[in-house]
């Protein structure tokens, strides 16, 4: 089955009770038992719920995995992965990581005795000098936020396998439409379903997919014992979103490509970050491991201060100033004051997250309207 069919049919079945084509919202915490322990496979909704299970199965299908699990948020899904570790274990993580992941790693798990190394992975071999007998997990995010750096998943996976280290990939920015990390050798793929998979900015939800049964059992144990599950209503909405992922992504990518080229040629724009440019670092890797270049575009303004940049943002009418990404509507963010505000300015400048950097989540509106909005704001 091809991807565009899987989003609609992959591991998805009509409801067993009445044949409903769309899986109903099973808003129940518990299930009748004919005798103690005798039931239809569902005993308590933290452990298993048909609405959540429908989403988990579909998720596994579109990531070419076997076992899916859905959590109350992307962060809860990441938290479950980290609970596979024990004190003393070491993690090698991408250096320009999603802010929430960085916070979870350094402010929670470091205090539990897990050691983190944050490494520039644009060159996969950089990882090698950080590996020792305690390394238990490699954590990568590609493309990264907000500079859209690309990491070669297959190359990192090769290193991870050589040393028998678990490899997890945060696939949120790409979505399974563009990139399937399990096929490239990753052990765990993680999503903030809140973003492209949900796609309508109406739920906060996370997911994991794996192929290995033993690993799936460990993650299920953590999910069930810690309890960071998603509710049935949110699972229903996420599955509804998932079914149109491929058509939305196609338009996100087309629109982002036009926006990136428009910005590249604009006299007020300094740098444009979009992995589709041939001279973009690791463009060849992006071309190899991604179907297209995604819906995110970041750019910096020429000779603009923090205040001038904010002023430009405030002129935008269609691009809504907001956190998050991946919904049908176009959003704009200012990393220096929003997502990356907790990083000191000197550190931000070193990473390339300058005060004049603007991040766009290009939506699926008519491209002429989007370009016109950017054009009037920049002038
Ligand atoms: C949003 C996001 C997360 C966290 O997901 P939530 O659903 O907000 O908890 C993790 N990684 C990336 C790349 C994200 O964009």
Residue 165 CA, distance from chain mean position: 22
The residue among 185, 219, 242 that closes a domain is: 242
> Do 124 and 212 have their domain in common?
yes
Q: Is the CB of 145 under 6 A from ligand 1?
A: yes
Say if pTM beats, i.e. exceeds, 0.75: yes
> Do 260 and 176 have their domain in common?
no
CATH of the domain at 303: 3.90.1150.10
Q: Is the CB of 234 under 6 A from ligand 1?
A: no
The residue range of the domain holding 213 is: 3-242
> Do 271 and 330 have their domain in common?
yes
The residue among 190, 209, 242 that closes a domain is: 242
> Do 182 and 261 have their domain in common?
no
Q: Return the best residue to mutate from 80, 81, 98, 339 for the ligand 1 pocket (most ligand atoms within 8 A of CB).
A: 98
Active site residue 98: yes
Cα–Cα distance measured from residue 362 to residue 333, given in angstroms and rounded to the nearest whole number: 11
> Do 267 and 236 have their domain in common?
no
> Do 305 and 342 have their domain in common?
yes
Does residue 125 contact residue 171 with C-beta atoms inside 8 Å?
no
Retrieve residue 319's tokens.
């691009």
The CA 203 to ligand 1 mean position distance, Å, reads 12
Cα–Cα distance measured from residue 321 to residue 59, given in angstroms and rounded to the nearest whole number: 30
- Which residue's alpha carbon is at the smallest distance from atom 7 of ligand 1? 74
Does residue 353 contact residue 144 with C-beta atoms inside 8 Å?
no
pLDDT digits (tens, 9 = 90+) for 112-151: 999 999 999 999 999 999 999 999 999 999 999 899 999 9
| Residue whose entry in the numeric block shows the structure tokens 């998720």 | 59
Q: Is the CB of 75 under 6 A from ligand 1?
A: yes
> Do 273 and 362 have their domain in common?
yes
pLDDT digits (tens, 9 = 90+) for 147-201: 999 999 999 999 999 999 999 999 999 999 999 999 999 999 999 999 999 999 9
The CA-atom distances, in angstroms, between 288 and each of 162, 180, 263 are: 22, 12, 25
Retrieve residue 87's tokens.
């004190």
> Do 229 and 252 have their domain in common?
no
Number of domains in the chain: 2
> Do 281 and 313 have their domain in common?
yes
Mean pLDDT, residues 211-235: 98
> Do 234 and 249 have their domain in common?
no
CATH of the domain at 211: 3.40.640.10
Q: Is the CB of 170 under 6 A from ligand 1?
A: yes
- Mean pLDDT score of the chain: 96
Q: Return the best residue to mutate from 143, 192, 339, 359 for the ligand 1 pocket (most ligand atoms within 8 A of CB).
A: 192
| Residue whose entry in the numeric block shows the structure tokens 């999910």 | 223
* Beta strands in the chain, from DSSP E residues, in sequence order: 67-71, 90-94, 115-119, 135-141, 166-170, 188-192, 206-210, 269-273, 296-301, 320-321, 331-333, 357-361
Active site residue 195: yes
> Do 273 and 171 have their domain in common?
no
> Do 286 and 263 have their domain in common?
yes
The residue among 242, 267, 282 that closes a domain is: 242
């Amino acid at each position: 089955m091809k991807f565009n069919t899987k989003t609609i049919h992959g591991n998805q079945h009509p409801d067993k009770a009445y044949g409903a084509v769309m899986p109903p919202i099973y808003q129940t915490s518990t299930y009748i038992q004919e005798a103690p322990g005798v039931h239809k496979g569902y005993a308590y909704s933290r452990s298993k719920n048909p609405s959540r299970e429908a989403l988990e199965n579909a998720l596994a299908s579109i990531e070419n995995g076997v076992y899916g699990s859905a959590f109350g948020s992307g962060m809860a899904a990441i938290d479950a992965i980290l609970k596979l570790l024990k004190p003393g274990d070491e993690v090698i993580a991408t250096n320009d990581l999603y802010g929430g992941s960085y916070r979870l790693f350094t402010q929670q798990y470091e205090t539990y005795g897990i050691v983190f190394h944050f490494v520039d992975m644009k060159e996969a071999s950089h990882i090698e000098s950080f590996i020792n007998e305690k390394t238990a997990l490699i954590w990568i995010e590609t493309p990264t936020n907000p500079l859209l750096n690309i990491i070669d998943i297959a190359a990192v996976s090769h290193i991870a396998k050589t040393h028998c280290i678990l490899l997890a990939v945060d696939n949120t920015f790409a979505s399974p439409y563009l990139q399937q990390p399990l096929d490239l050798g990753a052990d765990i793929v993680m999503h903030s379903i809140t973003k492209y998979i949900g796609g309508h900015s109406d739920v906060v939800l996370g997911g994991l997919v794996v192929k290995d049964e033993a690993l799936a059992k460990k993650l299920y144990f953590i999910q069930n014992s810690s309890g960071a599950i998603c509710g049935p209503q949110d699972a229903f909405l996420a599955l509804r979103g998932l079914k149109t992922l491929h058509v939305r992504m196609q338009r996100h990518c087309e629109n982002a490509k036009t926006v990136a080229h428009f910005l590249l040629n604009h006299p007020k724009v300094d740098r444009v970050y979009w992995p589709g440019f041939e001279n973009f670092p690791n463009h060849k890797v992006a071309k190899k491991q991604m179907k297209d270049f995604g819906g995110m575009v970041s750019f910096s303004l020429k000779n603009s201060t923090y205040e001038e940049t904010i002023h430009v943002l405030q002129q935008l009418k269609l691009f809504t100033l907001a956190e998050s990404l991946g919904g049908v509507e176009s959003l704009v963010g200012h990393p220096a004051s929003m997502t990356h505000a907790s990083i000191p300015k000197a550190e931000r400048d070193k990473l390339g997250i300058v005060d004049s950097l603007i991040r766009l989540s290009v939506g699926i509106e008519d491209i002429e309207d989007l370009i016109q909005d950017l054009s009037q704001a920049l002038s």
